[in-house]
Amino acid sequence: VLDGTPKKIIKLSTAVINKIAAGEIIHRPASAVKELIENSLDAEAKKISITVKEGGVKALQVQDTGNGIRKEDLSIVCKRFTTSKLREFEDLRRIRTFGFRGEALASISHVSHLSITTRTRTEQCAYKAFYCDGHLTSPQPGLSVEPVPFIGPYQIFLKVEDLFYNMDTRRKTLKSSNEEYLKIHTVVCNYSINFPQVSFTLKKFGEAAADYRTPADSTSRSNIKAIYGQKVEAELLEIEQLEESLELGIVGLISNANFSLKRGVFVLFINGRLLECPAIRKAIDNVYSAHLPKHAHSFCYLSLTMNPANVDVNVHPTKNEVHFLHANRIIEVVQETTRARLLAESSSRTFYSQV
Ligand code: ADP
Ligand code: MG
């Protein structure tokens, strides 16, 4: 009722606060996969396997060969703001891990049924724990909430079931299982391009063959070939550039000026983070527009490294956006590097075609 009087202010309950926060971080199955892959990479995993059921809504399982979680931490690992990666706010200036806020597992436990089975190198056995709303929970009424010992290898299994079971609207806005699976596929492929030393496997529950699999100690180029085919791979130019004054490193693989795709591919990592950066994308599109016909697009994978002290990673709940110092200069350098690479290649081509 609009009666012109101010409404009473109340404090939201913790349950409501946590659910709101969870919804900001976990938008869809692919965002949960992103968080879980980042955790596996932070745990130094050499092998990460992802198994998906019904587009990740029914079940999502991530298994990795990283360091695992200590048994004594299992009771707090899914509470909000519990992390092994950050101690002081100032540490963010040097942060080299993906995680730092301790919110991902908490968020997932607020919007799904989560279980973790983990065995560290020093433990005699694995332990399995079930979570609900940040807390340990019992797998069945009447059973203890304490983690149960399990015979298992030095691995961690995180199983996320019934995603958004308690968020009706969110569940309804998801796309079909196939489309959600494709989004997961893209996330896994993108990480495999930037982390070719790690073996990634993606498959559907109940299927023996993987839809996507990379060997450990692969290369970005060979993983791109596995995803996009040899036709694309054969057209890629390597970029490698160091700009010391900006503490900026650029490596990448980009399509040459005589090649185009109907749908563009733009994969950007900054300090190992998969990011959206419309300004850089626009700058690159701009370079290609001088070479490509209208409605034709390029393939572009770029991995930028900057001094972590110049990058603010704490600007977005999903961390898919960062702010960095000297942004305009950096974007210019990335653009010029790309332009120069395309030109160098086309002039050498001209040269060869004249021979
Ligand atoms: P953050 O990554 O910001 O620390 P998360 O909620 O994603 O927060 O994870 C909480 C903690 O759980 C991490 O700090 C880490 O210690 C532990 N953890 C999560 N996933 C894994 C994993 N796959 N292997 C080992 N430890 C993990
Ligand atoms: Mg994390």
Q: What is the dihedral of CA 17, 18, 20, 26, to 10 degrees?
A: 160
**Ligand 1 pocket mutation, candidates 33, 42, 95, criterion most atoms within 8 A of CB:** 42
In a domain? residue 202: yes
Q: What is the CATH number of the domain that holds 261?
A: 3.30.230.10
- Looking up residue 34, the CATH number of its domain turns out to be 3.30.565.10
Query: Is residue 151 domain-shared with residue 237, that is, in the same domain?
Result: no
157 pocket-lining for ligand 1 (C-beta < 6 Å):
no
ipTM, two decimals: 0.99
The reported pLDDT for the residue numbered 352 is: 47
Give residue for tokens 């209208």: 294
Q: Which of 181, 213, 245 is the last residue of a domain?
A: 213
264 occurs within a structural domain: yes
Out of 70, 95, 105, mutate this one to test ligand 1's pocket (max ligand atoms within 8 Å of CB): namely: 105
Cα 53 to chain centroid distance, Å, stands at: 19
Instruction: Give the integer Cα–Cα distance in Å for 194 and 187.
Output: 11
Residue 82 Cα: closest atom of ligand 1: 10
Domain membership of residue 5 (yes or no) is: no
pLDDT for residue 350: 56
Tokens 């995603």 label which residue?
163
Q: Are residues 150 and 256 in the same domain?
A: no
Residue 206 lies in a domain: yes
219: phi then psi, degrees, rounded to nearest 5: -125, 160
Are 183 and 238 in a shared domain? no
193 and 241 share one domain:
no
What's the predicted TM-score (pTM) here? 0.95
- Ligand 1 binding pocket includes 224 (Cβ within 6 Å): no
- Bridge partners, residue 241, by sequence: 250
> At which of 145, 178, 213 does a domain end?
213
One domain for residues 173 and 239: no
Domain co-membership, 209 together with 252: no
In a domain, 31, yes or no: yes
CA distance 283 to 276: 13
* 355 residues of the chain, pLDDT tens digit each: 788 999 999 999 999 999 999 999 999 999 999 999 999 999 999 999 999 999 999 999 999 999 999 999 999 999 999 999 999 999 988 888 999 999 999 999 999 999 999 999 999 999 999 999 999 999 999 999 999 998 988 999 999 999 999 999 999 999 999 999 999 999 999 999 999 999 999 999 999 999 999 999 999 999 999 999 999 999 999 999 999 999 999 999 999 999 999 999 999 999 999 999 999 999 999 999 999 999 999 999 999 999 999 999 988 988 999 999 999 999 999 999 999 999 998 777 655 443 3
Give the residue from 186, 213, 240 where a domain finishes: 213
Q: What is the pLDDT of residue 61?
A: 98
Going along the chain, which residue ranges are E strands? Answer: 47-53, 59-64, 113-118, 126-132, 135-137, 148-150, 156-161, 199-204, 212-213, 236-243, 248-255, 265-270, 273-274, 299-306, 311-312, 323-324
Domain count within the chain = 2
Residue 317 near ligand 1, beta carbon < 6 Å: no
Residues 173 and 39 in one domain: yes
22 Cα to the center of ligand 2, angstroms = 13
Whether residue 347 is found in the same domain as residue 251 = yes
Let me know whether 107 and 131 are in one domain: yes
Q: Is 255 exposed, middle or buried (0-12, 13-18, 19+ CB in 10 A)?
A: buried
Domain hosting residue 201, numbered range: 14-213
- 39 Cα to the center of ligand 1, angstroms: 5
State the pLDDT at residue 153.
87
Residue 8 resides in a domain:
no
Pocket test residue of 75, 76, 77, 318 for ligand 1, highest count of atoms within 8 A of CB:
77
Let me know if residue 63 belongs to a domain: yes
Nearest ligand to the CA of 82 is: 1
Instruction: Kindly state if the Cβ of 241 falls inside 6 Å of ligand 1.
Output: no
One domain, residues 185 and 265: no
CA of 83 to the centre of ligand 1 (A): 6
**Spacing, Cα 42 to ligand 2 middle (Å):** 8
Q: Are residues 238 and 340 in the same domain?
A: yes
